């Protein structure tokens, strides 16, 4: 088969979509990895929280009629309050309880959120109007959708922001020390309870941002959380569960791999591929691509 210009253009088009999807998965992974590192909770409601973010966006923009640029920050603030409240359901009352109990309480919260959304908004899909009216830009014959470009752009900004927070600021250092050794951090005068609250708020703010970003691209449905969470978990596992850098690489590779596989091989077995990759990682490289030590069992 000859490779024409059209094929190359098509490839790049597909690739950008993959990068956009990958950026979303990376953000989701980062959002729950923050909580995981801070308090050791794997949040099985991570996907549903993204969905809540999207629906909050729908309420603000479609129902209350706010412009998107005002709705976005309001959505993020509301979601961080939600994160603040969330810790009083799955973290504070269950401190010191086993993994099983905490995992089930996050899972139950996810079920309540997904079905609650369905109860309020119904099962039919919703969407946000895209920010700009022209849906695609044409770069040398490669048509790239504007919402996808926005997703990539905002994701990069957010990830840089998170990196800077943990590398440069006092708050970031305090959050990190709380995650690594809460006893020690408390002895050194860090208000660890406050740091945990801030971590939950940051995590939920990121999840809300993701929900808002995907709302113009994907249609919002109450059950959307599962798919997003699974890709986020997959990204985290590939990245070594607990590493922000790893999650970014993991998310991008899943987004790109998935969309190339769907475009050139088979779309019905697309989700199979991701899980096989994840199982492969669990078998052969459970420490993730960057080979960090993870806590193996005795």
Partner 1 sequence: MSTSTSGPSAPIKEVLQQGQHGKLMGVNATYLRSFRYISYFIFIGFILILPNLVNGLQLRLATLASIWFVATMGLQVLMGQAGLVSIGQAAFVGVGAYTAAILATKHGFSFLLTIPIAGLSGVILAIIVGFPTLKLRGHYLAIASIGVGQIILVLMVNWRAVTNGMDGITGITRPVESNRLYFYICAAIGLAIAAALYSLRKTPVGLAFTALRTDETAAGAMGISVAWHYLVAFMISGFCAGVAGGLFAYNEGFISPYGFDLGQSIVLLTMIIIGGLRHISGALVGAILLIFLPPNLEFLGSSYMVIYGIAVLLVILFAPDGAAGAILKMRDMFLRKISRKSGESSHK
CA–CA distance from 235 to each of 102, 119, 254 (Å)? Answer: 22, 31, 7
Binding of partner 1 at residue 92 (CB under 8 A)? no
Binding of partner 1 at residue 111 (CB under 8 A)? yes
Say how far apart CA 206 and CA 229 lie, in whole Å.
Answer: 13
* Shortest spacing between CB 261 and partner 1, in angstroms: 13
C-beta closer to partner 1: residue 45 or 190: 45
Say how far apart CA 178 and CA 201 lie, in whole Å.
Answer: 15
Residue labelled with tokens 């030590």: 293
Size of the site for partner 1 (CB under 8 A): 45
- 144 — phi, psi (to 5°)? -120, 130
Query: Among 22, 110, 251, 288, which residue interacts with partner 1 (rule: CB under 8 A)?
Result: 110
267 DSSP 8-state letter = S
Sites for partner 1 among residues 189-218 (CB under 8 A): none
Binding of partner 1 at residue 85 (CB under 8 A)? no
Binding of partner 1 at residue 230 (CB under 8 A)? yes
Binding of partner 1 at residue 238 (CB under 8 A)? no
Query: Among 15, 66, 74, 104, which residue interacts with partner 1 (rule: CB under 8 A)?
Result: 104
Sites for partner 1 among residues 35-74 (CB under 8 A): 42, 44
> Which of the ranges 14-22, 96-104, 159-167, 249-257 carries the binding residues for partner 1, by CB under 8 A?
96-104
* Shortest spacing between CB 219 and partner 1, in angstroms: 18
Binding of partner 1 at residue 257 (CB under 8 A)? no
Nearest to 95 by CA among 56, 137, 141, 39: 39
Nearest to 142 by CA among 3, 8, 2, 4: 8
136 DSSP 8-state letter = E
Query: Among 63, 64, 77, 101, which residue interacts with partner 1 (rule: CB under 8 A)?
Result: 101
C-beta closer to partner 1: residue 59 or 94: 94
218 contacts 225 by C-beta, under 8 angstroms: no
Query: Among 59, 89, 142, 171, which residue interacts with partner 1 (rule: CB under 8 A)?
Result: 89
Say how far apart CA 243 and CA 270 lie, in whole Å.
Answer: 26
Say how far apart CA 138 and CA 23 lie, in whole Å.
Answer: 21
Bridge partner list, 42: none
CA–CA distance from 284 to each of 83, 235, 281 (Å)? Answer: 35, 16, 5
Sites for partner 1 among residues 123-152 (CB under 8 A): 123
* Residues near partner 1, by CB under 8 A: 42, 44, 89, 93-94, 98-101, 103-105, 107-112, 115-116, 118-119, 123, 226, 230, 233-234, 237, 241, 268-269, 271-272, 275-276, 278-279, 282-283, 286, 294-298
């Amino acid at each position: 088969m000859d490779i024409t210009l059209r094929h190359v253009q098509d490839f790049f088009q597909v690739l950008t979509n993959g990068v956009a999807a990958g950026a979303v998965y990376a953000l989701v992974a980062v959002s729950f990895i923050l909580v995981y590192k801070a308090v050791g909770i794997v949040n099985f409601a991570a996907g549903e929280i993204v969905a809540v973010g999207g629906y909050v966006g729908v309420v603000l923009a479609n129902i209350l009629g706010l412009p998107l640029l005002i709705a976005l920050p309001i959505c993020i603030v509301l979601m961080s309050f939600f994160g603040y409240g969330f810790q009083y359901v799955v973290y504070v009352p269950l401190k010191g309880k086993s993994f099983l109990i905490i995992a089930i309480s996050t899972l139950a919260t996810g079920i309540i959120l997904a079905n609650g959304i369905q109860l309020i908004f119904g099962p039919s899909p919703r969407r946000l109007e895209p920010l700009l009216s022209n849906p695609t830009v044409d770069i040398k014959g490669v048509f790239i959708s504007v919402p996808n470009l926005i997703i990539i752009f905002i994701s990069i900004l957010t990830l840089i922001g998170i990196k800077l927070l943990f590398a440069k600021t006092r708050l970031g250092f305090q959050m990190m020390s709380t995650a690594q050794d809460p006893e020690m951090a408390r002895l050194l005068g860090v208000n660890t309870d406050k740091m945990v609250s801030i971590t939950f708020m940051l995590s939920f703010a990121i999840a809300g941002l993701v929900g808002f970003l995907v709302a113009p691209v994907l249609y919002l449905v109450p059950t959307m959380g599962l798919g997003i969470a699974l890709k986020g978990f997959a990204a985290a596992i590939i990245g070594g569960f607990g590493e922000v850098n790893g999650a970014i690489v993991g998310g991008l590779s899943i987004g790109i791999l998935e969309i190339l596989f769907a475009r050139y091989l088979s779309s019905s077995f697309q989700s199979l591929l991701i899980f096989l990759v994840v199982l492969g990682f669990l078998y052969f490289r459970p420490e993730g691509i960057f080979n960090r030590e993870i806590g193996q069992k005795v």
